[in-house]
Amino acid sequence: MKIIFYRPEYAKQFNTQTMMADPVGGTEFAAGYLAEELAKSHNVFFICQTPKTARIDNIQWLPPSDQKIGQADILILVGGLSNCLENYIPPVRKIILWANGLSLKPNTIKHLCQNKIDQVVCTTRYARDQVLHNTRKRMPLPQKLKYFTIRKWRRQFRGKFTFIYNGVNMELFSKKLYRSTLKKPFKILYAGVFNEQKNPDKILAVFAAIRRALPQAELHMCGSITQYKTEGADQTTGYFDGDGFFEKIKKYVYGKENKIKPGIYLRGSLPPETLAREMMESSLVVVNPCVGNQESSCIGALEAQAAGTPVLGGGLSALEETIQHNITGFVFREQKNLAPLVIRLLKNPMLLKKIGRQGRKRALSGFGWNRLAREWEKLFAMLLTGEKFIPKKH
C-alpha cells in the first residue's frame, strides 16, 4: 500500500532522524513515529519541510515542492490544514484528515462537506466529539440545514469522524532503563510548552505552598520557552506565546536579585531520550495543570505512564480519558485542589509506586506505535472496501 503523510504547514525542518536530537511538536512526533511503523510493511512518503530529500527509516522524505509521487492509496493530512486541498490534490484513493486539535479550520470544513475528505481521525473520544460539535456549528448553511433535516445525510456525515489514540515510542522507555533508573523523592517534572494553552503558570504559582509543606520538593520545568517563536508557529498555528508569556510568569520563577527561586529548575526543551529518563526518575509528572484546559490527547501524559511515573493534570477535557484517575494518574476538577493534591501524593510514596506500575502496564499493553499502526491499517482497509471502522478503546 502506498501512503502519503502531508505536513508542510509546520515551519520547522524535521524527519525521524533529526527530531530525536532537536525536539518538534507532539503532532510531528506522533506522525513521524506512525510513519516509521507503517513503513515496515508499506511504501510511505512524508511531505514536510524536511532538511533534505532522502530515504530515512524506510520513509521517503520530500519537500513540499517535490510531490511527484504518482497514484497512492492513502493521503494523511497531518494537523489542522486549511488550504492543502487547493494547493495539493494528488491522485489518491482515500484522504484522511488527522485532526490533532479540537476544531477544524473553515476551509477544511468546506472540503469535508464537499466529500474531498473521507475520514477525520481524532486522538481521543473526547476530541472526536468536540471536533464534530465545532464542525457542526461552523459548517456552511446549506450543509447545516441538510445535517438537521436529512437523517441519512446526518448519519453519513457523523460517520466521517472517528478516533485512534496517540501512542508512545516504547524504545525510549525500555525495560532495562526502567529497572536501572531510581526515583528521586519529591521531584516534580512539568512537561510541556511555556504558553497559555499548556498553563505552566498554574504549577509555578502553587510551588511556593508545596515547598513550604515539603522543603525538599523540586520542580523541574521541561519545555521550550521560544520553540513556537523560532518555528514561526505564531503564523501557522496561532499558539505562540513564548517570550511574552514567560515575561508574565517570571514573578513565580525569580526572587530577589533576579535569581531563580530555590527548588525551581528551568530545563528547557529536552531531546526525547533525555526527557524519558527525566520522567522515569521523577516522583510525579505534571501536564497542563489547569481545570479549564483544552487538551485533545496529551502525549506527555502517555509518556509519563510509559515511564512508570504517576501523571497529574487538570480535568474537563481529554486528560480525563488519557489519564485514568486513581489508576494511572490523577485528574483534579477544582483549581484550588492542585497544591494539596501534589503535597498529599509526594507524602505517599507507596501510592505513587503503585500508580506508576499501573500506568506503565497500561502504556505497554495498548499505546505502543506498533499496536496503534495496526488500528490505522484496519481503518485504511475499511475505507478502501467501504466497511465501517470501529475504534478500539484502551
What are 323-362's pLDDT values in tens digits?
999 999 999 999 999 999 999 999 999 999 999 999 999 9
Mean pLDDT lowest for which of 80-84, 280-284, 288-292? Answer: 80-84
Please write the tens of the pLDDT for every residue from 207-258.
999 999 999 999 999 987 654 444 443 333 333 345 677 788 889 998 888 8
CATH no. for residue 136? 3.40.50.2000
Q: Is residue 391 part of a domain?
A: no
145 and 49 belong to one structural domain: yes
343 and 372 belong to one structural domain: no
136 and 204 belong to one structural domain: no
9 and 130 belong to one structural domain: yes
Grid look-up 501536564 returns 287
Stated pTM of the model: 0.91
Domain residues for the domain of 98 are 2-167+368-385
Q: Is residue 46 part of a domain?
A: yes
160 and 226 belong to one structural domain: no
Question: Residue ranges of the alpha helices (H) in the chain?
Answer: 26-38, 84-87, 106-113, 125-138, 141-149, 151-158, 175-180, 200-213, 227-230, 233-236, 242-253, 272-281, 299-306, 319-322, 338-346, 349-366, 369-385
The residues facing 284 across adjacent strands are 188
Look at the alpha carbons of 122, 127, 129, 134 in this order and tell me if their dihedral is positive or negative.
negative
128 and 82 belong to one structural domain: yes
pLDDT at 242: 56
Please write the tens of the pLDDT for every residue from 16-38.
999 998 888 889 999 999 999 99
186 and 151 belong to one structural domain: no
Query: Which residue type occupies 218?
Result: E
Grid look-up 527530531 returns 19
Q: How far is CA 34 from CA 40, 69, 100, 316, 371, in A?
A: 10, 20, 14, 28, 10
